[in-house]
């Protein structure tokens, strides 16, 4: 049986586990295809080799291709998974993980699972983590998954629901029945990571017998000296010991020979087989020694490393994995920095960005939509055209691309590839965005996302998302403006009005 074991003794997060499975041999293009089947055109997976406290590891980046993607309910995510073209084992595992998350969040907030609004765990990156991990297990042929005890961290952390103790309530709910320990300061286990472990692993155990085929090491966002910020996955073949049931048919074969022989000769071989003991109770006592190998086959004495798990606090120097980056002000508590791009735009704090520009006067205008789409797909925060008049009165367009500084080189290459320009200029800017969240409103029986921009707890902007409204308008054979107006009216009926306090269920 092909099996795998998760070492989460330094903490666990979705992207760390995904990186470990990629490091163990799962192909990134196959995982990208599975994620695209659920949320097409939303994210791109990118892997790189990194060093964490002197150890080599693979880090998988989940990069957004669309700005301001919505938070989703469990009902919405389940529909996405049901409608996606996925291998059935991948779909089944992904549904199991999100079901665990929904049930934990529902218990924490006192609502039904279907009404749970995922914040951190419902964003695009966690959907990619969950679907990617499930697709990776399927690609590696893992039939049985187990995991060891999990380091969950300690202290306090800031979340969409305010400042919470560590482990955060959702992680604590997900950890019921699992062996956990603190392992260090900060949030070392995220809800997504804990749900993946407890929903997919059959049992919490120390490393079982395996013939190892591969070892994968997945990295978190931070490199803490002396504390490897990693999750390990050991993949191999688990022994299938079934010699004892095979030995049982042997006595069955003897009675088969007995009916073949006449009843009189049957009594003759019996005393021959029992020369030392004439009474019959001795053959009855013989099956008792045969039953003795059964306790020998039980690995319970070997599986008693549960007391040995106590010295695992020695792994504390390796336990601070900072598996997910909620914006914790403390120096080392944050487990992962993966969602930092989203948290910057959500907090309203100014962030550094770069603007790439090029003037183009000789490109077929029919090509421009494809150019803008290619830039957004490559990770641009925004891209737009401005009509200009160049020298000698030539009509042209200025192509502008807004992006994070670390995406500038890749986007510059897209501009050169997709347009006819001979040069690209760039300059740095400061970008300040309103904090934002998402709500769903009902229009003609369908749920439409509405973006809510807010500042200091007060609503500043309320905007229905255009593309879902356009799709609904086409399905209902209505003008798009009619559906947009209906969504705005439904949002106002829900209390989403400029100048009012943001509702508590949206993070107010």
Q: Is the pTM value of this prediction over 0.75? A: no
Residue 344 to residue 1: CA distance in whole angstroms: 45
Instruction: Tell me the average pLDDT across 320-329.
Output: 41
Residue 341 to residue 352: CA distance in whole angstroms: 11
Q: Is 82 exposed, middle or buried (0-12, 13-18, 19+ CB in 10 A)?
A: exposed
* Pairing assessment for the beta strands 211-219 and 230-237 based on DSSP bridges: antiparallel
- Point out the least confidently predicted range of 137-141, 210-214, 347-351, 364-368: 347-351
Tokens at residue 132, please?
Answer: 């990617």
Residue 285 to residue 280: CA distance in whole angstroms: 9
pLDDT, position 351: 76
Answer whether residue 272 shows pLDDT above 70: no
Q: Tens digits of per-residue pLDDT, 33-47?
A: 999 999 888 889 999
| CB atoms inside a 10 Å sphere around CB 172 | 18
Instruction: Tell me the average pLDDT across 285-289.
Output: 41
State what percent of residues in the chain have pLDDT above 90.
41
Query: Which residues lie below 8 Å from residue 352, measured CB to CB, with a gap of 6+?
Result: 405, 428, 429, 430, 431
Q: Tens digits of per-residue pLDDT, 381-395?
A: 899 999 999 888 889
Answer whether residue 32 shows pLDDT above 90: yes
Residue 413 to residue 218: CA distance in whole angstroms: 29
Residue 245 to residue 261: CA distance in whole angstroms: 26
Tokens at residue 464, please?
Answer: 């229905």
Strand partners, 440: 449
Tokens at residue 59, please?
Answer: 């880090």
C-alpha Rg value of the chain to the nearest Å: 30
Across the beta sheet with 458-464, the strand order is 435-443, 446-455, 458-464
Answer whether residue 203 shows pLDDT above 80: yes
Top-confidence range, 234-243, 332-341, 388-397: 388-397
Maximal CA-CA distance, the chain: 120
Q: Please, what is the average pLDDT of the chain?
A: 78
Domains of the chain: 2-237 (no CATH), 352-430 (3.30.70.1380), 435-501 (3.10.20)
Instruction: Tell me the average pLDDT across 490-504.
Output: 87
Q: Tens digits of per-residue pLDDT, 361-373?
A: 999 999 999 999 9
- Point out the least confidently predicted range of 107-121, 240-254, 309-323: 309-323
């Amino acid at each position: 049986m092909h099996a795998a074991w998760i070492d989460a003794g330094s903490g666990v997060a979705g992207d760390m586990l995904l990186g470990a499975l990629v490091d163990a041999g799962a192909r990134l293009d196959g995982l990208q295809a599975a994620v695209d089947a659920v949320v097409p055109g939303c994210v791109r997976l990118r892997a790189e080799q990194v060093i964490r406290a002197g150890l080599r590891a693979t880090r998988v980046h989940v990069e957004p291709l669309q700005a301001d993607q919505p938070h989703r309910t469990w009902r919405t995510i389940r529909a996405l998974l049901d409608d996606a073209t996925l291998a059935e084992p991948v779909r089944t595992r992904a549904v199991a993980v999100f079901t665990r998350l929904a049930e934990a969040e529902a218990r924490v907030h006192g609502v039904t699972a279907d009404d749970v609004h995922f914040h951190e765990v419902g964003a695009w990156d966690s959907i990619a983590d969950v679907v990617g991990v499930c697709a990776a297990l399927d690609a590696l042929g893992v039939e049985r998954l187990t995991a060891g005890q999990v380091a969950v961290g300690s202290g306090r952390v800031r979340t969409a629901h305010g400042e919470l103790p560590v482990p955060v309530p959702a992680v604590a709910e997900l950890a019921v029945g699992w062996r956990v320990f603190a392992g260090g300061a900060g949030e070392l286990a995220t809800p997504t990571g804990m749900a993946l472990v407890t929903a997919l692993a059959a049992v919490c155990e120390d490393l079982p017998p395996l013939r190892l085929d591969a070892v994968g090491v997945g990295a978190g966002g931070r490199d803490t000296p002396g504390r490897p910020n990693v999750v390990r996955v050991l993949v191999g073949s688990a022994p299938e010991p079934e010699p004892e049931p095979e030995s049982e048919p042997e006595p069955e074969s003897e009675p088969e020979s007995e009916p073949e022989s006449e009843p009189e000769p049957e009594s003759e071989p019996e005393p021959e087989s029992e020369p030392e003991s004439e009474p019959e109770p001795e053959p009855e006592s013989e099956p008792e020694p045969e039953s003795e190998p059964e306790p020998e086959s039980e690995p319970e004495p070997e599986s008693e490393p549960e007391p040995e798990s106590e010295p695992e606090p020695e792994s504390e120097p390796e336990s601070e994995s900072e598996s997910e980056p909620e914006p914790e002000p403390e120096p080392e508590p944050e487990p992962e920095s993966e969602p930092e791009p989203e948290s910057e735009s959500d907090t309203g704090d100014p962030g550094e960005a770069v603007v790439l520009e090029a003037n183009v006067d000789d490109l077929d205008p029919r090509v421009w939509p494809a150019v803008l789409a290619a830039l957004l797909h490559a990770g641009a925060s925004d891209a737009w055209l401005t009509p200009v008049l160049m020298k000698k009165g030539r009509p042209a367009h200025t192509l502008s691309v807004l992006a994070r500084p670390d995406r500038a080189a890749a986007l510059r290459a897209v501009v050169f590839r997709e347009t006819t320009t001979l040069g690209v200029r760039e300059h740095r800017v400061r970008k300040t965005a309103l904090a934002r969240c998402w709500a769903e409103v009902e229009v003609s029986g369908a749920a439409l996302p509405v973006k809510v921009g807010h500042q200091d707890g007060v609503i500043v902007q309320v905007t229905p998302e255009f593309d879902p409204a356009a799709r609904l308008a086409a399905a209902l054979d209505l003008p798009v403006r009619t559906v947009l107006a209906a969504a705005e009216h439904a949002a106002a009926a829900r209390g989403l009005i400029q100048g009012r306090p943001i509702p508590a269920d949206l993070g107010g």
